[in-house]
């Protein structure tokens, strides 16, 4: 299995980092509403957040963690793709992922959490371990050509048709949200301070016991770094033969958009055990804008991939290291099938496992 990676240590590192990522992804997508209350009451969480009722993090941000789980699911698909197809030229996936998880480790570190402290440091430790394993795999895969094509990377726009406009627009939107969530998360969360993008009413963080902590918005920004970086690589490096990074970007943005759209349609109340005012209904004041923006970005990326096919993005595409065959099968069969499957999982999460 996964015979296209020759280095056993690299294979182990990629597999272990994937395992850490998939556990957190499953926990956030299916059990975030229980995770934020540490699994208290009649509630199951794969990875409880460790918060006590006295902790500020208790009961906060289930919806944001659910979206983070979808973003993580898209990013760790890169592990499986590399394991299945080999490392040659996959710097386009690995460098953005290393950058994103480095940002994630930084925002989870206590010195950078500001006034909003996480319940415990387990997510930080898991991130550091996963990042270390993934980075080690990248170094070990240099002998297998992971950096092939990196030496030819130079600034400029490599896309030639209408795809470049779609990638530019989605990259600008992604960059704005990344900057906002990194540097203006307090104001966006309804705490205090200015915002680049309108968020929740100032002061609402302190009156809403289930409001998302600014730390969690910074977590989303760290994942945005991965996908914005991948989009910029395609924009600069061109489409020809870059099917691997194009696939991860397409799936990741699709997973993100579907989680935002379905999550804001479902609107699950959050139960806080022992609170006489529980359950609480999430603040939906940003729901419409989030649905519109995420849906628009998803359509931009679908259009961009469709147009990049004309520029040879699927040239050299493989499955299990062998020629993929009819390239139409990916865009018209595999992508819709995987998307539909993920949508079903999100429906299960929103209507079966998440409601309390």
Model confidence pLDDT, tens digit, residues 76-107: 999 999 999 999 999 999 999 999 999 999 99
| Domain boundaries defined on the chain | 8-353
DSSP 270: B
Q: Is 344 helix (H, G, I), strand (E, B) or coil?
A: helix
CA distance linking residue 170 with residue 162, whole number of Å: 13
Cβ-based burial of 296 (10 A; exposed 0-12, middle 13-18, buried ≥19): middle
Q: What is the pLDDT of residues 108-132, one digit of tens each?
A: 998 887 777 677 889 999 999 999 9
Other C-beta atoms closer than 10 Å to the C-beta of 306 total: 15
Angle at 316 between CA 311 and CA 319, to 5 degrees: 125
Per-residue tokens: 317: 């595409």
Residues 6+ apart with CB under 8 A from 101: 127, 130, 131, 134, 222, 226
pLDDT band at 356 (very low <50, low <70, confident <90, very high): low
Q: Per-residue pLDDT for 331 more than 60?
A: yes
CA distance linking residue 47 with residue 62, whole number of Å: 13
Q: At which residue do the structure tokens 């139960």 appear?
A: 271
CA distance linking residue 234 with residue 334, whole number of Å: 21
Per the model's pLDDT, the better-predicted residue between 1 and 9 turns out to be 9
Per-residue tokens: 151: 């030496």
Residues 51-73 have a mean pLDDT of 93
DSSP 143: G
pTM of the model: 0.95
Q: What is the pLDDT of residues 242-264, one digit of tens each?
A: 999 999 999 999 999 999 999 99
Q: Per-residue pLDDT for 337 more than 70?
A: yes
Other C-beta atoms closer than 10 Å to the C-beta of 188 total: 24
Closest CA to 307 of 170, 213, 108, 182: 170
């Amino acid at each position: 299995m996964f015979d296209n990676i020759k280095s056993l240590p690299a294979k182990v590192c990629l597999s272990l980092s994937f395992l850490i990522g998939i556990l957190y992804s499953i926990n956030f997508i299916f059990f975030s509403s229980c995770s934020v209350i540490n699994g208290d009451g009649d509630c199951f969480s794969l990875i409880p957040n460790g918060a006590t009722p006295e902790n500020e993090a208790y009961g906060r941000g289930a919806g944001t963690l659910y979206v983070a789980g979808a973003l993580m699911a898209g990013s760790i698909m890169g592990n499986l793709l590399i394991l299945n197809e080999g490392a040659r030229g996959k710097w386009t996936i690995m460098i953005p992922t290393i950058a994103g998880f480095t940002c994630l480790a930084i925002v989870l570190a206590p010195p950078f959490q500001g006034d909003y402290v996480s319940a415990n440091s387990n997510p930080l430790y898991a991130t550091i371990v996963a990042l270390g394993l993934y980075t080690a795999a990248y170094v070990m895969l240099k002998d297998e050509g992971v950096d092939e094509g990196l030496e030819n990377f130079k600034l400029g726009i490599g896309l030639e048709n209408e795809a470049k406009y779609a990638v530019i627009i989605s990259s600008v939107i992604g960059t704005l949200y990344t900057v906002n969530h990194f540097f203006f998360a307090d104001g966006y969360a309804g705490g205090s301070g200015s915002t680049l993008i309108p968020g929740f009413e100032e002061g609402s963080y302190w009156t809403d016991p289930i409001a998302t902590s600014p730390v969690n918005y910074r977590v989303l920004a760290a994942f945005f770094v991965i996908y914005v970086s991948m989009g910029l690589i395609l924009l600069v490096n061109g489409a020809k033969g870059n099917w691997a990074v194009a696939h991860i970007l397409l799936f990741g943005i699709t997973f993100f958009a579907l989680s935002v759209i379905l999550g804001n349609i479902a609107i699950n109340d959050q139960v806080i055990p022992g609170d006489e005012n529980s359950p609480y209904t999430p603040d939906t004041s940003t729901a419409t804008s989030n649905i519109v923006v995420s849906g628009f970005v998803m359509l931009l990326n679908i259009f961009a991939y469709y147009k990049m096919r004309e520029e040879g993005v699927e040239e050299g595409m493989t499955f299990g290291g062998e020629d993929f065959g009819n390239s139409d099968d990916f865009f018209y069969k595999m992508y819709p099938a995987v998307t539909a499957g993920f949508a079903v999982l999100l429906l299960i999460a929103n209507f079966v496992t998440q409601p309390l």
